[in-house]
């Protein structure tokens, strides 16, 4: 079967090649790939900056944002042939640490977790893949291709859960949320904010095109300036850019007792214009909390499936701005600024 593979830590090594059928040790459920979303992590892996092949192998099958159709459910009770499923990405570490031991692999303490398509386990960019029944999440069949948005939705579902849990440490009635960034994570974070009845604002660089249009179609407000020029103090900031200046402005401008949740992974950039001690003073004097959030556990996958099932299908469809064939995977990896989510489509749905 065909698969998109990469030699981790070697830039430009990605290729579509023939590989053997998925090994049974990956799980008893056999799935036909329908589509796999491409994200910044995939781009970093193909640029040689990130990623680990399985032990004993030199190449890794790429892809962690899956959508597939069950070909053979094996002895599983909950799945049947034809079901649409998405594969959970992370697996608990083998020790396991206390958090992995209780199923919170997203909070792994020793870093020895593995991740499909990223860290030591093959991903989902192959014509067929296998998965353990307990890591195969069934999705609402009416979602169709939109089910490929599940994985990024789980990331924001966890971020929201943690931000709200922190806010509830004291009496708290959040009304406004500022989402910084209008990529798939930012837009899905905005969707979840709207679903919770909050007043949602999205701030990003783009001034026109599908991203601002998607924000407005959600009933949220789009801003393209700086956080400092917003004119109000948000109760929650969902930070989805990873840009240092946006982060320090967000911490400086958030409302008293507000929570800044960081989900973007940035690198470098110019030295901060607001000194760190000044940023910290803002947080101290307003009882703010800054939290980081990554990955998701099974509870978040369950909640994300519910959020997607509740969402307007036409709005979700706005997020998939490109579909490429496996042969054209390089086009999918070279996403333009106007693209939101590009998927590689392996089979019709």
Q: For Zn ion, which is the closer residue by CB, 98 or 336?
A: 98
Of residues 158, 111, 147, the one with CA closest to residue 298? 158
Q: For Zn ion, which is the closer residue by CB, 1 or 101?
A: 101
In whole angstroms, the minimum distance from the beta carbon of 294 to Zn ion comes to 13
Work out the burial of residue 131: count CB atoms within 10 Å of its CB; fewer than 13 is exposed, 13-18 middle, 19 or more buried: buried
In whole angstroms, the minimum distance from the beta carbon of 88 to Zn ion comes to 15
Measure the CA angle with vertex 156, ends 155 and 158; round to 5°. Answer: 70
Tokens 């007792």 belong to 257
DSSP class of residue 147 equals G
Measure the CA angle with vertex 31, ends 17 and 131; round to 5°. Answer: 95
In whole angstroms, the minimum distance from the beta carbon of 256 to Zn ion comes to 35
For binding to Zn ion (CB under 5 A), which residues are involved?
93, 97, 100, 108
In whole angstroms, the minimum distance from the beta carbon of 111 to Zn ion comes to 8
Q: For Zn ion, which is the closer residue by CB, 108 or 189?
A: 108
CB atoms within 10 A of CB 198: 18
Contact (CB, 8 A) for 36 and 121: no
Q: For Zn ion, which is the closer residue by CB, 100 or 227?
A: 100
Q: What is the DSSP pairing of strand 65-72 with strand 29-37? A: antiparallel
In whole angstroms, the minimum distance from the beta carbon of 154 to Zn ion comes to 18
In whole angstroms, the minimum distance from the beta carbon of 42 to Zn ion comes to 24
Q: What distance lies between CA 124 and its chain's CA centroid?
A: 15
Tokens 């901060």 belong to 272
Q: What DSSP string runs through 72-90?
A: E-TT-SS--TT-EEEE--E
Q: For Zn ion, which is the closer residue by CB, 100 or 255?
A: 100
In whole angstroms, the minimum distance from the beta carbon of 163 to Zn ion comes to 22
Q: For Zn ion, which is the closer residue by CB, 93 or 115?
A: 93
Q: What are the residues whose beta carbons fall under 8 Å from the beta carbon of 188, sequence distance 6 or more?
A: 149, 152, 153, 155, 156, 319
Q: For Zn ion, which is the closer residue by CB, 36 or 88?
A: 88
């Amino acid at each position: 079967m065909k698969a998109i593979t990469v030699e981790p830590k070697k830039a430009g090594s990605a290729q579509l090649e023939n590989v053997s059928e998925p090994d049974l040790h990956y799980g008893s459920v056999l799935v036909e790939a329908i589509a796999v979303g491409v994200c910044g992590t995939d781009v970093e892996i193909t640029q040689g900056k990130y990623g680990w092949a399985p032990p004993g192998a030199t190449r890794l099958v790429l892809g962690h944002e899956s959508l597939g159709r069950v070909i053979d459910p094996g002895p599983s009770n909950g799945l049947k042939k034809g079901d649409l499923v998405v594969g959970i990405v992370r697996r608990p570490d083998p020790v396991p640490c206390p958090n992995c031991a209780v199923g919170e692999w997203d909070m792994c303490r020793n870093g020895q977790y593995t991740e499909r398509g990223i860290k030591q386990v093959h991903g989902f960019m192959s014509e067929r893949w296998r998965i353990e029944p307990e890591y195969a999440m069934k999705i609402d069949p009416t979602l169709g291709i939109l089910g490929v948005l599940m994985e990024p939705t789980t990331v924001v579902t966890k971020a929201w859960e943690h931000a709200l849990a922190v806010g509830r440490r004291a009496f708290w009635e959040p009304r406004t949320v500022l989402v910084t960034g209008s990529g798939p994570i930012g837009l899905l974070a905005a969707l979840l904010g709207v679903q919770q009845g909050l007043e949602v604002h999205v701030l990003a660089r783009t001034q026109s095109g599908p991203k601002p249009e998607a924000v407005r179609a959600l009933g949220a407000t789009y801003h393209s300036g700086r956080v400092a020029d917003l004119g109000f103090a948000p109760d929650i900031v969902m930070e989805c850019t990873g840009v240092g200046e946006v982060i320090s402005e967000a911490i400086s401008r958030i409302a008293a007792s507000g929570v800044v949740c960081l989900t973007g992974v940035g690198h470098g950039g110019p030295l901060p214009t607001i000194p760190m001690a000044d940023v910290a003073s803002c947080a101290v004097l307003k009882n703010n909390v800054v939290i980081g959030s990554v990955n998701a556990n099974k509870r978040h996958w369950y909640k994300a499936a519910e959020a997607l099932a509740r969402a307007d299908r036409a709005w979700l469809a706005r997020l998939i701005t490109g579909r490429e064939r496996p042969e054209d995977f390089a086009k999918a990896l070279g996403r333009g600024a106007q693209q939101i989510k590009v998927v590689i489509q392996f089979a019709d749905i």
